[in-house]
Amino acid sequence: MTTNDDVASENSPQMTANLEKIEALSERLIKAVSGKSSTNPALSGPDRELFSNALNSYWHEMMQNPAKMFEHQAAYWGKSVKHYVEAQQVLSKGKLEAPSDAFTTDKRFSNPLWNTHPYFNFVKQQYLINAEAIAQAVDDVEDLDSTEKQRLKYFSQQIIDMMAPTNFLGTNPDALEKAVQTEGQSLLDGLENLVADLEANNGELIVKLADEKAFQLGENIATTPGKVIYRNKMMELIQYSPTTETVHETPLIMFPPWINKFYILDLKKQNSMIKWITEQGYTLFVVSWINPDESYADVGLEGYIEEGYLAAIREVKEITGVKQVNCIGYCIAGTTLSLTLSLLKKRGDKSIKSATFFTALTDFSNQGEFTPFLQNDFIDGIEAEVNEKGMLRSFIMARTFSFLRSNDLVYTPAIKSYMMGEAPPAFDLLYWNGDGANLPGKMAVQYLRGLCQSNEFADGGFTLMGETLNLKDVDVPLCSIACETDHIAAWKTCYRGVQQMGSTSKTFIVTQSGHIAGIVNPPSKNKYGHYTNDDLKLDADAWLEQAEFTQGSWWPRWESWLKKRSGKQVPARLPGDSTHPELCDAPGTYVMINSKV
């Protein structure tokens, strides 16, 4: 009988070191997981009623039409048995080769071994047979309403994606090959990555998507020169330095979403929209929102409007000496810009000369891919969460967005980091994506209940700040940019909202690509084109069918539209004035506040 010391003495120095490292990592892993902060369980999945209703519907269908159910079951059994027999026949002939693969290409199975090795080919094909059977079973459920059916499809697909053989070491040839090639070092590195991610997020497993050490705000991203010239509890107001001798008289205020940080529009010099706008001769102000903590629990949408939008408009008018400003609102900030425009209409205030909306939803009658998360069980869970924590923590929103594209944003990064032992890439966009922000409790519930669930702004009126706000009150000249493959703010839904706005001067542009890449699309890249059509009375499908396609960025087209609404040329304005001293350099201090799990 040998002792552990005897075994260790027979191992190589590298093996001994690795064993010691595993022991240390295991201790850290246990400590990190034991420190996990609590999260309302309702936010981790649908209530049991959804699956109970689906099961009841399935059994009801089986009783009513047993032949159909048996047909589907027999087809599944037949495919599985046939698959097994074919594999056995090949092996019985002494051939270590896979049977012919009848399935289409899936990038998860790009390793040649999935097609050439009998074991991996068998695992892959059986997984795809199982996935097809689950999807068919969901399609066969007929007694659920459309919303429940959509949710059932979504959560069933999550199960299918989670059970992919690529997600497990023993059935992932890429991970196994690398483990052999590196003598197990890749697995140790992967365990180190796993433990580090858990420790960084208080026990919550959030896959790190980018190398955080590769970026420093103000040094290699968010570097456009400017100054913070105003600050309150909700935001810092940045005025960017001019790059032209003259500028348009009417200043431009950009309101980014407060779910993430503003520097998505100022990543690198090559793709910085902020830099590009200053180069076109505009006095540009950008709001950088606070990353709220629990002390902001009682801040609602009215707080963002009063101390964000209205405060920024007031200060910019004072600094520049003008009566009107142009505004941009991106995503949720575009939704809130619409609310602000309705409020100003009620008050007879004409401070906003024109409005630009980036991927902004204003009519929520079709909840799109967010339908699974906008039902009462999830929203009830969010209310319970914010009542306890005072805020909706950023990782909860990030997790929700990620699972809308789980293979790309959850499983593939996890495989590379935890099974392959790879370091996350130095990718600025992914760095920004991981730099989320919390939402104040009151604001989150107002938005989810009043706007997303009840659609009050477009249907009947949204009560806020003593007024009933309506979408039809948005009557300033406007330009709305939506993205063709946007899964967060579907372009057809953005279009429907614009159709209901009261303005007589509307421009609508659909750019190729998604929620971020479609907006951050500089002319120099000549990558994505865009669609335009002046007839906004058409339904969305007809609008796109009859639209004119232009290759290249939409930025110059929008700037041409903005130029007509920006007045004469005046001498370029330096940041601040005697009553607005420079508080600090851009990108400011609020953007540096990180979220904590």
Q: Which residues are catalytic?
A: 331
DSSP code string of 395-453: HHHHHHHHHTTHIIIIIHHHIIIIIS-PPPP--HHHHHHT----EEHHHHHIIIIIIII
Of 506, 531, 522, nearest in space to 556 by CA: 522
Q: Amino acid identity, residue 492? A: K
Question: Hey, which residues does 532 pair with through a beta bridge?
Answer: 509, 548
Number of neighbours of residue 136 by Cβ within 10 angstroms: 12
CB half-sphere exposure, 548, CA atoms < 13 A: 7
DSSP code string of 196-232: HHHHHTTT------S-GGG--BTTTBS---EEEEEE-
Please tell me what DSSP assigns to residue 464.
E
DSSP code string of 257-295: -SSS-GGGGSSSGGG-HHHHHHHTT--EEEEEE----GG
Q: Which residues contact 460 (CB under 8 A, 6 or more apart)?
A: none
CB 440 within 8 A of CB 292: yes
- Report the alpha-carbon distance of residue 243 to residue 280 in Å, rounded: 8
- Report the alpha-carbon distance of residue 387 to residue 390 in Å, rounded: 6
What are the respective helix, strand and coil percentages of the chain, to the nearest 5? 50, 15, 35
Q: Which residues contact 5 (CB under 8 A, 6 or more apart)?
A: none
CB 586 within 8 A of CB 226: yes
305-309 contacts at long range (C-beta below 8 A, 24 or more positions apart): 305/336, 305/339, 305/340, 305/343, 305/464, 305/465, 306/465, 307/232, 307/233, 307/234, 307/235, 308/234, 308/235, 308/255, 308/336, 309/255, 309/336, 309/337, 309/340
Handedness of CA 12, 13, 15, 20 (dihedral sign): positive
**Per-residue tokens: 556:** 């110059």
Question: Hey, which residues does 235 pair with through a beta bridge?
Answer: 289
- Report the alpha-carbon distance of residue 303 to residue 233 in Å, rounded: 10
Three-state secondary structure along 149-202? HHHHHHHHHHHHHHCCHHHCHHHCHHHHHHHHHCCCHHHHHHHHHHHHHHHHCC
**Per-residue tokens: 180:** 């052999």
Strand order in the sheet with 235-240: 548-550, 530-532, 506-511, 478-483, 352-358, 325-330, 252-255, 284-289, 235-240, 226-231, 584-585
What is the C-alpha end-to-end distance of the chain, expressed in Å? 48
Specify whether the backbone of 392 is left (phi greater than 0), alpha (psi in -120 to 50) or beta: beta
**Per-residue tokens: 395:** 């990782």
CB 252 within 8 A of CB 283: yes
